[in-house]
Amino acid sequence: MCEHCGCTVTGGNAHLLEAGAPEGRRTVEVLEGLLAANDRAAAHNRAHLARHGVAAVNLMSAPGSGKTALLEATVEALAGEFRIAVIEGDLATENDAERIRARGVPAVQIATGTACHLDAHLVHRALHRLDLGAVDLLLIENVGNLVCPAAFDLGQHRSVALVSVPEGDDKPAKYPVLFRAADLVLVSKCDLLGVLDGFDPAAVERHVRALASAAPVWRVSARTGEGLGRWCDWLRALVAGVRAGAAASVT
């Protein structure tokens, strides 16, 4: 695919594609993704991460489902093991980045203004504000939104979707595009299951399977620590895998 103009047409083959158009008009077959520019930037991010052997995770969920609390607990649990960095996406404020920095971990806040999602270009700029040579695990907290973030590849290795107990167990059925993109689904705030008895964790899993997704569905609570061990093991395996891949590409 031509990277310059976004088409595959050359002087040699153009005549094959131009048929039936009225005089003075030319129809050009493009067949390129609408997000081609974002996808190229995501590939570029991936190359940055690979060069430094950094494992990257994109966390997506509705606002207020506990992404930042999960990150705080994750930093607490793994900061002695890995060098962690965080990219925070929000429309405004540095609040989330400050919460992470308070735990002694570098955090870059992307304030998107009015944009409802992170894209690969925004993340690329944030990557350049981090010392990737001093990072093993990069956690990217996307803008709280269950619609738009799903469409934009950031260059991450894995995507995680959170659905918190107060939101209801049918979120994967209501937002199939985002949950279909998740490699792991976390039922967050699971300490509230005893209070909000209308939430059935098995229903979350059923809705995720209906999206033809084999992603594990695990309960976590940043407050009680339930499920954090398994989540941290998942991150450990990812970091080890990315390191092994980076080592393999060097040799």
Partner 1 sequence: MHELALCRALLAQAERIAAAHGAHAVRRVELRVGPLSGAVPELLREAFAVARAGTCAQEAELVVHEGAIEVECEACGARGPAAAPNRLHCPACGGWRTRLVAGDELLIERVELALAPRACEEGAEHV
Element at 140 (helix H, strand E): strand 137-141
The whole-angstrom separation of Cα 85 and Cα 114 is: 25
The whole-angstrom separation of Cα 185 and Cα 202 is: 12
Among residues 191, 186, 131, 124, the alpha carbon closest in space to that of 160 is found at: 186
**Shortest reach from residue 95's CB to partner 1, in Å:** 23
Give whichever of 35 and 79 is closer to partner 1, judged by the CB atom.
Answer: 35
Number of C-beta neighbours around residue 157 at 10 A? 19
Give whichever of 29 and 98 is closer to partner 1, judged by the CB atom.
Answer: 29
Q: Which residues bind partner 1 (CB under 8 A)?
A: 4-7, 9, 21, 24-38, 115-117, 119, 147-148, 150-152, 172-174, 176-178, 180, 207, 209-212, 214
**Burial per residue of 177-201, b for 16 or more beta-carbon CB atoms within 10 angstroms, e otherwise:** ebbbbbbbbbbbbbbebeeeeebeb
The whole-angstrom separation of Cα 246 and Cα 220 is: 30
**Shortest reach from residue 114's CB to partner 1, in Å:** 9
**Shortest reach from residue 78's CB to partner 1, in Å:** 31
DSSP code at position 37:
H
Give whichever of 202 and 248 is closer to partner 1, judged by the CB atom.
Answer: 202
Give whichever of 60 and 220 is closer to partner 1, judged by the CB atom.
Answer: 60
**Shortest reach from residue 117's CB to partner 1, in Å:** 6
**Shortest reach from residue 20's CB to partner 1, in Å:** 11
Give whichever of 36 and 195 is closer to partner 1, judged by the CB atom.
Answer: 36
For the CA atoms of 185, 187, 188, 193, what is the dihedral angle to 10 degrees?
180
Give whichever of 114 and 251 is closer to partner 1, judged by the CB atom.
Answer: 114
CA separation (Å) from 178 to 95, 152, 201, 220, 250?
25, 10, 18, 19, 34
Give whichever of 22 and 104 is closer to partner 1, judged by the CB atom.
Answer: 22
**Shortest reach from residue 163's CB to partner 1, in Å:** 14
**Shortest reach from residue 98's CB to partner 1, in Å:** 27
With helix as H, strand as E and coil as C, how does 64-131 read? Answer: CCCHHHHHHHHHHHHCCCCCEEEEEEECCCCHHHHHHHCCCCCEEEEECCCCCCCCHHHHHHHHCCCC
